[in-house]
Amino acid sequence: MILTGILTGLLTGVAGFLAFLTVTAHTEKAHDLMYWHLAIQLASILIFAIVVWRRWQTVGPPTGTTRLFGVFASVLLLVGSYIGGTIVYQGGAAVNPQILSAEVREHSHGGNGHHSHSAEATQALQSDSLGP
């Protein structure tokens, strides 16, 4: 089951990376969180891969270390998923731009991964906060 999770996680990661390259409307804070989301989710997949490798190396129940790796990977997965939800629900990423504020709509990657937005949008985004 963990191996299946790793494989689907890799597929989801590819889809997320494509979204990162193509989603135009989002806040500056959401853009910064995208890097954290990517790193944490990738780390969880790698640690789950270690768990699978260790399980193939042993016969019988998993060792305490292997279980600890699994718990740590699960925590990372939860934290990374929370950040992903924050990016979408509080940062406007992948949301229909017509329902977003003008400041968020004007934020763009410019098609080549670089940021571009108007001076007014820059000022509005600098005061943006995603925290509770």
**Alpha-carbon distance 40 to 87, whole Å?**
14
Two structure tokens written together for 35: 């890097």
* pLDDT (tens place) for every residue of the chain, 132 residues total: 888 999 999 998 898 888 778 776 677 778 788 889 999 999 999 999 999 999 998 888 999 999 999 999 999 999 999 999 888 888 777 666 666 667 666 665 554 444 444 444 444 444 444 444
Q: Coil, helix or strand for 108?
A: strand
**How much is the pTM?**
0.67
Q: Where along the chain do its domains lie? A: 2-126
Q: What is the pLDDT, as a whole number, of residue 82?
A: 95
Backbone region of residue 118 per phi and psi (left: phi > 0; alpha: psi in -120 to 50; beta: other values)? beta
* Spatial distance between the Cα atoms of 112 and 30, rounded to a whole number of angstroms: 18
Q: List the end-to-end C-alpha distance of the chain, in Å, as a whole number.
A: 35
